[in-house]
Amino acid sequence: MSKTKVLFVSQEILPFSAESPNASSARYLPQAVHEKGKETRIFMPRYGKINERRHQLHEVIRLSGMNLIVNDTDHPLIIKVASIPQIRIQVYFIDNEEYFHRKAFFHGEDGGLFEDNDMRMIFFTKGVLETVKRLGWSPDIIHCHGWFSALMPLYVKELYKRAPYFAAAKIVYSLYDDAFEGKLHKDIAAKIAFDGIETAGMGGLKDPDFVNLSKLALQYSDAVVMGSAGVNAQLKQHVDTLDVPVLRQYDEEDYLTAVDEFYDGVVLGKSVLVD
């Protein structure tokens, strides 16, 4: 029997970003499921704040060199890798000079969101999926961590739905207490539509704040994990209306085991609703 393959897509991962529930989950969960016999791949953006020398990032030439179109403009995709210290698991970094070399993750010096965060998200999403295709690797589960990965469920289920590498993949979306103030660019729907994705039924994109962006991710996900305490109250109520498996509560010490068992239920189609 072949190993279950899990693709982790996260906006932050220890030790390449600061401590947070998201960064910790994206660091320790891949290790735990790998040790339980699953095959993993991990992706995050290569933010300009990441010290390449200290973390020993290096470019993967055979995966780099592709151009991705975002809103009718070509942008070169660079893939870099580094190993998480003390474990033999690599992290793949999506890099582009225009989108990811600035010395901040999501906000400018004035504290406001970068105006092009929507295009950075589109580039990151497509960069991950195109790189996975180049790797010739077909995930059984795609686990998205953090709002910057919120377009991944939509793109997998719509733009890449006929791609054999992703046709059978189940999407798990983790909700965290990582809300941002403000909104993404008002034209995000038009930029997504440029990729050939029908957005007529996505009313929330007209008001792309944190809650509506998260609801969009949940709309196209097959399962949900409550990744931290203090998840937005509106999103908690919204999750209650969804007809998908939800990992709601768990002992913090048992988190890694609980999510691993949750994966097995999702892949095997068992009833895995956890209250």
pLDDT confidence of residue 10: 98
φ and ψ of 258, to 5 deg: -60, -45
pLDDT confidence of residue 251: 72
pLDDT confidence of residue 68: 96
pLDDT confidence of residue 154: 97
Type of residue found at 43: F
Q: Which residue has the tokens 């046709």?
A: 167
pLDDT confidence of residue 201: 79
Cα 273 from Cα 213, distance rounded (Å): 24
Q: Which of 48, 150, 51, 26 lies closest to 97 in space, CA to CA?
A: 48
Reported pTM: 0.95
SS3 39: strand
SS3 241: coil
CB contact at 8 A, 144 and 89: no
CATH number (3.40.50.2000, 3.40.50.150, 3.20.20.450, 3.10.100.10) of 5-268 reads 3.40.50.2000
Name the DSSP letter for residue 150. T
CB contact at 8 A, 23 and 37: no
pLDDT confidence of residue 131: 97
Q: How far is CA 68 from the centre of its chain?
A: 18
Mean pLDDT by 10 residues, the chain (275 residues): 91 93 94 94 96 93 94 95 88 96 91 95 98 96 97 96 92 95 95 92 89 97 92 95 89 86 80 46
